[in-house]
Amino acid sequence: MHLLHLSSLVFRSPRPFHPQRLWDLIGEGFRGAGGVLRVKGFCRLASRPSTAALWSQAGPVIRLEPFATVDDASPEGQELVFIGTALRHDTLHDR
């Protein structure tokens, strides 16, 4: 029996995502970052700074949808958990 070694990465950043770079990363299937199986959390896009989005992904099924309007009391940036096999933390964080 072959056991998979799962690992996780919590990604936090005060900066919103650049929409095209995020699209490219998702479209490439996280190439070079390991086997991403699941992503869950909240994020923002630089093109929509007043909206927080919910990111929910299981395998190839991705949902990225508006979740809440952001105000001055809201936390800034992103908080996402990536779960997968042989995750390359530095690559994921850099991309």
Give the pLDDT score at 69.
85
What six digits make up the tokens of 29?
């299937």
Summarize the confidence of residues 12-25 as an average pLDDT: 90
Which residue from 40, 47, 58, 49 is spatially nearest to 22, judged by alpha carbons?
47
The pLDDT of 12-21, averaged and rounded, is 91
Whether the predicted pLDDT of 76 surpasses 80: no
Question: CA-CA distances (angstroms) from residue 36 to 11, 59, 60, 86, 91?
Answer: 13, 7, 9, 9, 12
Residue 17 DSSP symbol? B
The total number of structural domains in the chain stands at 1
Predicted confidence band of residue 59 (pLDDT cuts 50, 70, 90) = confident
Instruction: For residue 39, give the CATH number of its domain.
Output: 3.30.1220.10
pLDDT at 1: 61
In a domain, 1, yes or no: no
The whole model's pTM is what?
A: 0.85
Give me the chain's average pLDDT, please.
87
Which among 65, 82, 64 has a CA at the least distance from the CA of 12?
82
